[in-house]
Structure 1
Amino acid sequence: MKQFSIFLIFLFFGSCQYFEKKVPSEKELLRKELKAINWKEVDEYPSVAECETIADEKQRQKCFFDVMSQLVQEKLQIDSLSILYPEWDTISVKVTIFPNSKMKFEPQFPKDSVAYDTIKVDSILHARLIDFPKVNPAIKRGIPVKTQFILPVIIKAKEAK
């Protein structure tokens, strides 16, 4: 019994250190958590309905970019970009997808963009790149977030009939 009481006293004094631990403040915890988050990557990439059934994340991402490229190419094929600028075979379009699923397209012009009528090209792109299917925004920690990416679009010349 004497050994048991010594053990209890030792346990009592030894456990006091657990009560004296300093609890980190809410701001300190938030700062640490924000530092730990990789803000350059998202948990889930944007997606369209056609790609939702794909289970593999990389394949779903590839499907999304393929579908977007195809849709933009189809919309630009019916226009005069290839006639105005026959030297262009590819144009880079900056695509922004907002958390509310709205999209914005901005052309990225080459370094020698002085040679091009950027206002005319911009207006052609804004006129043609409308009526896209619903895009589900990217997800970061369960919250829809804004994402941006550069989409290379191949401009095909109209075929002569």
Structure 2
Amino acid sequence: MPRSSFSGSVSTPKLEVMVDMGNPLLNLTVDGFLKIGTVGVVKATAEETYHVLQKGNISHHKFEDSLKKMCKEGAYWGTAAGAYVGIEYGLERIRGTRDWKNAMIGGALTGALISTASKNGRDKIVMDAITGGAVATAAEFLNYLT
């Protein structure tokens, strides 16, 4: 019986932007802000594009609102990522080891920090800390698999 197979690889272009702030903590924090902030902007862009295609047109006012939303999403996502990366790096330096515990603690502290800045109540802050710790720990474990 004839058999066929397919093999190959797909790669994407890689763009690295590094801002040297003269301090490893600041370098990682800014890098996290820029990379994940870009993800937030792309997410908002995709959502706004979907809404425009759904309605069939866009006004000048709607375009300005879309740009504001993109900037807001980018800043929010970037700030969360920058805080997480900075906290995790600080924990790594303090504890002298790089492991999943840094991710868990960093995620929990970041979740609590962002929730507190959003003026949430105590129960919501605790839930956001638990969520942040769980997501960061899961991401760290997934990194071990690859």
TM-score tier after normalising by the smaller chain length: under 0.3
CA radius of gyration, larger in:
1
More strand by share: 1
More helix by share: 2
TM-score when scaled to structure 2? 0.27
